[in-house]
Structure 1
Amino acid sequence: MVGAQTAETGVRTGPRKVREIENIWIPMSDGTKIAARMWLPEDAESNPVPVLMEYIPYRKRDGASLTGSSRLRDEAIHPYLASYGYACVRADIRGSGDSEGLPQDEYVKQEQDDGVEIIAWLARQSWCTGKVGMFGISWGGYSALQVAARRPPELKAIITVCSTEDRYTEEPYHNGLVGEDMFGVGWGVHYPAYCCRPPDPAIVGHRWRDMWMERLKNVDYYPVTWLSHQQRDAYWKHASISVDYGAFECPVYAVGGWFDPLHRTVPRMLANLKCPRKGLVGPWGHEYPNYSDRGPGPAIDWLAESLRWWDHWLKDIDTGIMDEPMYRVWMQEEPMMRGVHQIPGRWVAEDSWPSSRIKPRKLYLTKDGLESNPGAETARVLKPLQTVGTTAPGWMVRRIKDAPTDQRIDDARSLTFDSEPIKDDFEILGAPVVTLELAVDKPVALLSVRLNEVEPDGLSRRITYDVLNLTHRDSHEFPEPLVPGQRYRIRMPLEDCAHVFKSGRRIRVAVSTSHWPSYWPSPEPVTLTLYAGRSELELPVRPPRAEDRELKAFGPPFSP
């Protein structure tokens, strides 16, 4: 172990003093060395501790990521955890930061192979108890899932935040559609730029320029590769644990935010995994739950909550965390809108997921709106319009400015179906489902469905939505063109949500053939015919749960 710098860190609240080691080298079996930064309790050599590892390409020395400065974030998280008796390790993935090797595409096998080797090396050190945990947000959350799927024996538990277990269905494709954020000015541009940055001469010495030139010669523009795999093929199945949920054995705490596009991963994993698991979804964007200055809130003391998880699985301390309900969410009492920093609501929970307490309530899309009876069949036609979607231009909410605005402009360009004013408040939890009978006049078409709540003054606020490439209506692996004019019956779950519908307001379903600029449009403008009386909305209604009032309260977020 080689340290470039060693110092005592000041960010801690736990009982153990911590020293920071700016760089350690972790050898791989092929001779490549992985660079990592470490925070270690000062007495770890005589009193060994478990390891918590974060494994990402965002440059431990100076890195910035799409969720903010990774170095500043490291200094807010790792020393805190270390002060409670953990060795915290922040490793640069091969070919990134100060690590040796060449840049790589996302989530390649070599990355997971290295992850398994890193875990084994850490577990062998004299200051380690032999137990390792992994955690991270976004790429770090993916890494934790993907390495855990390899079942390294030393890895005892993980926390994954704002990630997904299915690489194809969430990013860069979603339901067969190309996400602008992945291929446009967002991640598709940023990631190759990250790969082009040099290592730090203070860490790698005189080799830095040669290492940098090798990176520049070998970096690729990865969106070209992504675009060459437009179906859910072997490229996307690799490192997607959804391919075989039953093979995943590592205890997992899955965390998401209602305003992050990856939040549906949490209920999916709770429903499909068999290993010990917990889920938490709060009023957040693509961010850790303890940050409220950058996006919607309220934030929570996530570091304390994560400690309860680690102490249970890595130290065999009964923290009570596994006696609590499996799934905890923020029940929103008002929809999120741009400029709103704190989302009114309360914490609720379900003992298991799916929950047998959730009951469907069906409403029909009719010529008169949303009604409890289907009524007569009526054809409603939407002429081509490619600009629907501008009231919610951000696919991924990272900041308040990315949030949806008043939906009325997009509603006016869509087919809309409104209920009568709601008589009594009721809440939903889960994925609303629309079943639409429709026809289109082109072989390739996009379908967008938004579920809104409309106030008496006309303000329309989005509760949830989803989109679908209709050629993927039956399969993401084997899409089939549509037959123009032929009627299809499309069942389409919307994104999971938790919301209280208030009395006096209306429920609106808005249907369109574009969702720009979040998703690339169809190659040709599409005329949609929707058959009212043959189409329906199913809401996952959640009855009150008295035990919600007794849930363990989250503390305010820790600020170093």
Structure 2
Amino acid sequence: MGTLARRPLLALLVLAALVTPVTPVAAQAGPPPFEVRDGVTQPIFDFAAAIRETTWVDTGMDGDADGRPDRVAVDVVRPAEPARRGQRVPVIMDASPYYSCCGRGNENQVKTYDAAGRPVGFPLFYDNYFVPRGYAVALVDLAGTNRSQGCVDVGGPSDVASARAVVDWLSGRRPGYDAPTGGRTSSATWSTGAVGMIGKSYDGSIANGVAATGVAGLRTIVPISAIGSWYDYFNGDGVSFGADPVDLARLVEEHGGRPACAGANSGLATAAPENGDYTAFWADRDYLRGAANVRASVFAVHGLGDDNVKPINVGRWWDALARAGVPRRLWLSQTGHVDPFDYRRGQWVATLHRWFDHWLLGVANGVEREPQASVERRPDAWVDEPVWPPVGTHAVTLHPEPGATPGLGVLGTAPAAPGTTEAFTDAAGQDARAWAAAPGKPSAARVLFDTGPLAHDLRLAGTGSVTLTVTPATPTAHLAAVLVDYGPATVRDDTAPGEGIRTLGTRSCWGASRPGDSACYLDTAAVTADVDRQVFARGWADLGHHDSPARGEPLTPGRAYPMTFRLSTTDHVVPAGHHLVLIVGGTDSGTTVPPSRPGRLRLDLAGSLVRLPVVVGPRPGGRGLS
């Protein structure tokens, strides 16, 4: 992709790194170093006495083009007692770019070190809770961040390889060192080689990417609010969300970017133009392509109100894993971009504990036979599902039809008559919530199609799509499709500052503490709102990409173009008596960038439809849904 410079010396250095003797993982001595009671491991080890150390792992890459292979820093905390007995422990690993620039968790914790550079403060509760139970916790600085060498490539081959290299080190396949340059070889002879990766957002995305390489030793991953394809993070179907990979790289490199990474960042800018094209750059960051390689089990967690890492990411990743037959579990909340520790804390810690015990230690606790999915139906009210999407979910096609008032149509089961159209003008300053605000009033900026009141609950679970046939008046056109549930409800307010939670003044403790590394965290509570409508699925497209996501083309004004694009993944029940509404507009302000020449768009109703993943399908009866 042109971002990682290479020099002739590198080949020799990489070869030297690959042939450096690696101490094999030692054989387990004596009984296992953990105690199980009531199906879970017990906190029998002294957290205050735990070993804290840093190892630098050779990645074999030279992202900063200094002629030396980059080393990434791995801060480890592990129980001392098994080490003294020659016993090995499994590893919980979080590879992140955020350990110094931005912090982790609701309290934005960063790593801290003593005067000698030894790790003291480990963000989040994983070390406090799991180290006393016989696990090591390894927090990895991705290449180009904090104490690691190299450069960030925003979810690309360097990011993934730098985390995979640590899995290899933990499994005895790659050397580590006790210094960032030179130093003595450091082998993870204390590790069983069984690794579980966890993390939210960027961190969880890297866990997905490493799993997609099929690396041996990675037994499970727990991606939280994570990316499955970085194209879907930065783009819709051919339309850009306006974020810049270079800005993200410079943020996590700190202080506006490392000088040595200027060339790498320039390469990112060249390879990822803001035009919505699906290029080789995005293919390198599309972990779905490696889903068939995944050997690890997957426990995915996502907020259905997440406007940062949009739910299409978990939906497409889940579907790809299902096709590959990967053991998996899913939690879907009503929150936005929020960690489950902050909206379902007690249940989360208990479930994660049993999950790691089973997949990393082989504890027969039955967690793998529990319901596959848990969905938050109302604030703090969860429903378990044996499988997800539920058995019986099928694609149902609904059609937009004209209504008595132009711009206010019907969403029904019968196609519209040929030649029936509606029109609107792309008003780039409006967004989906503005379009939904007055469903009984026509608007020049959108068209709306209403089922009328439903006679039965209608549940959608999965990823839908919309097909629109549109005639533009200008050479460029962007589209948005929105599903809205009209009717009274009490929901988590994912639009509030905490995206569905508020932080309280009290603390609860989850594990053991020691000076500089507390197990106590601020409590949270749900932020709710009484609403009369919910925007629960959206999709975006550039009409110029109607033929291919790889390359957009100028449009011919006056010519009709059909285009199919995706709606966001959802699990939502539209209750009986509520209305299901499809809204079609242009630029969804605040989410998509406007086209260079927005204009008037005419929608051919006969050539348009929406396909929805329905659990309880529409019932026969007239123009709308009975």
Q: Normalising to structure 1: TM-score of the pair?
A: 0.77
Partner of 1:374 in structure 2?
415
CA distances 1:336-377 after superposition (whole Å, capped 9, x unpaired): xxxxxxx37532414255x54113444321111223333434
Q: Counterpart of 2:383 in 1: which secondary structure?
A: strand
Partner of 2:277 in structure 1?
231
Q: Does the 8 Å contact 1:35/1:98 carry over to 2?
A: yes
Partner of 1:466 in structure 2?
539
- 1:281-320 pair list within 5 angstroms: 281-292=332-343, 301-320=347-366
CA distances 1:76-134 after superposition (whole Å, capped 9, x unpaired): 233212222210011112221122x2433213433333323322323342322221221
Q: Does the 8 Å contact 1:464/1:496 carry over to 2?
A: yes
Q: Does the 8 Å contact 1:427/1:500 carry over to 2?
A: yes
1:104 matched to 2:152? The reply is yes
1:288 maps to amino acid: D
CA distances 1:163-221 after superposition (whole Å, capped 9, x unpaired): 222221x12222221113x23xxx764541331349xxxxxxxxxxxxx9755866736
1:153 matched to 2:194? The reply is no
CA distance in 2, matches of 1:66, 1:176: 33
Once the 2 structures are TM-superposed, how far is the Cα of residue 515 of structure 1 from its aligned partner? 0.5
1:330 matched to 2:383? The reply is no
Once the 2 structures are TM-superposed, how far is the Cα of residue 135 of structure 1 from its aligned partner? 1.4
Once the 2 structures are TM-superposed, how far is the Cα of residue 535 of structure 1 from its aligned partner? 2.9
1:517 maps to amino acid: G
Once the 2 structures are TM-superposed, how far is the Cα of residue 256 of structure 1 from its aligned partner? 1.4
**Structure 1 residues 242 and 69, CA, compared in 2 at 3 Å: closer, same or farther?**
same
CA distance in 1, matches of 2:360, 2:438: 47
Q: Equivalent of 1:351, from 387, 392, 401?
A: 387
1:34 matched to 2:72? The reply is yes
Once the 2 structures are TM-superposed, how far is the Cα of residue 302 of structure 1 from its aligned partner? 1.9
CA distance in 2, matches of 1:87, 1:455: 49
CA distance in 2, matches of 1:456, 1:158: 38
Partner of 2:400 in structure 1?
365
CA distance in 2, matches of 1:460, 1:528: 26
**Structure 1 residues 385 and 254, CA, compared in 2 at 3 Å: closer, same or farther?**
same
Q: Equivalent of 2:295, from 240, 249, 260?
A: 249
Q: Counterpart of 1:419 in 2: which secondary structure?
A: strand
Partner of 2:119 in structure 1?
none
CA distance in 2, matches of 1:150, 1:471: 33
CA distance in 2, matches of 1:512, 1:490: 14
Q: Equivalent of 2:95, from 41, 52, 55?
A: 55
CA distance in 1, matches of 2:402, 2:571: 28
1:359 maps to amino acid: H
Q: Does the 8 Å contact 1:422/1:505 carry over to 2?
A: yes
**Structure 1 residues 417 and 161, CA, compared in 2 at 3 Å: closer, same or farther?**
same
Once the 2 structures are TM-superposed, how far is the Cα of residue 497 of structure 1 from its aligned partner? 1.2
Q: Does the 8 Å contact 2:236/2:276 carry over to 1?
A: no
Q: Equivalent of 2:556, from 465, 483, 501?
A: 483
Once the 2 structures are TM-superposed, how far is the Cα of residue 54 of structure 1 from its aligned partner? 0.8
CA distance in 1, matches of 2:614, 2:310: 22
1:415 maps to amino acid: V
Partner of 1:3 in structure 2?
none
Once the 2 structures are TM-superposed, how far is the Cα of residue 517 of structure 1 from its aligned partner? 1.8
CA distance in 1, matches of 2:546, 2:278: 13
Between stretches 129-138 and 270-279, larger displacement belongs to 270-279
2:400 maps to amino acid: L
1:387 matched to 2:409? The reply is no
CA distance in 1, matches of 2:133, 2:436: 43
Partner of 2:45 in structure 1?
16
CA distance in 2, matches of 1:67, 1:178: 29
Q: Equivalent of 2:311, from 263, 270, 276?
A: 263
Q: Equivalent of 2:612, from 539, 545, 549?
A: 539
Q: Does the 8 Å contact 2:485/2:581 carry over to 1?
A: yes
1:174 matched to 2:236? The reply is yes
Partner of 1:517 in structure 2?
590
Q: Counterpart of 1:179 in 2: which secondary structure?
A: coil
2:233 maps to amino acid: E
CA distances 1:369-397 after superposition (whole Å, capped 9, x unpaired): 223333434221113422221738xxxxx
Q: Counterpart of 1:385 in 2: which secondary structure?
A: coil
1:88 maps to amino acid: V
Once the 2 structures are TM-superposed, how far is the Cα of residue 39 of structure 1 from its aligned partner? 2.4
CA distance in 1, matches of 2:166, 2:380: 43
CA distance in 1, matches of 2:123, 2:544: 43
CA distances 1:253-275 after superposition (whole Å, capped 9, x unpaired): 22211112432333323322313
CA distance in 2, matches of 1:283, 1:448: 22
CA distance in 2, matches of 1:63, 1:490: 40
Once the 2 structures are TM-superposed, how far is the Cα of residue 31 of structure 1 from its aligned partner? 5.8
Q: Counterpart of 2:272 in 1: which secondary structure?
A: helix
CA distance in 2, matches of 1:145, 1:93: 14
Between stretches 129-138 and 453-462, larger displacement belongs to 453-462
Once the 2 structures are TM-superposed, how far is the Cα of residue 24 of structure 1 from its aligned partner? 0.6
CA distances 1:402-431 after superposition (whole Å, capped 9, x unpaired): xx9957699843111122222232322123
Q: Does the 8 Å contact 2:485/2:535 carry over to 1?
A: yes
**Structure 1 residues 515 and 121, CA, compared in 2 at 3 Å: closer, same or farther?**
same
% identity of equivalent residues: 22
1:137 matched to 2:177? The reply is no
How many residue pairs get aligned? The number is 486
1:194 maps to amino acid: V
1:376 maps to amino acid: A
Q: Equivalent of 2:252, from 181, 190, 194?
A: 194
CA distance in 2, matches of 1:529, 1:178: 22
CA distance in 2, matches of 1:537, 1:214: 49
CA distance in 2, matches of 1:197, 1:44: 41
Q: Does the 8 Å contact 1:192/1:219 carry over to 2?
A: no
CA distance in 1, matches of 2:159, 2:362: 30
Partner of 1:416 in structure 2?
448
CA distances 1:136-180 after superposition (whole Å, capped 9, x unpaired): 111111211222233332222222122222221x12222221113
Q: Does the 8 Å contact 2:396/2:612 carry over to 1?
A: yes
CA distance in 2, matches of 1:251, 1:410: 49
Q: Normalising to structure 2: TM-score of the pair?
A: 0.70
Structure 2 residue runs of 5 or longer lacking an equivalent are 1-40, 61-67, 112-121, 173-187, 404-409, 490-530, 618-626
Structure number with higher relative contact order (C-alpha < 8 Å, ≥ 6 residues apart): 2
Once the 2 structures are TM-superposed, how far is the Cα of residue 228 of structure 1 from its aligned partner? 6.6
Q: Does the 8 Å contact 2:432/2:482 carry over to 1?
A: no
Q: Equivalent of 2:110, from 45, 57, 71?
A: 71
Q: Which has the larger radius of gyration?
A: 2
CA distance in 2, matches of 1:69, 1:460: 33
Q: Equivalent of 1:278, from 314, 325, 329?
A: 329
CA distance in 1, matches of 2:383, 2:442: 31
Q: Does the 8 Å contact 1:390/1:517 carry over to 2?
A: no
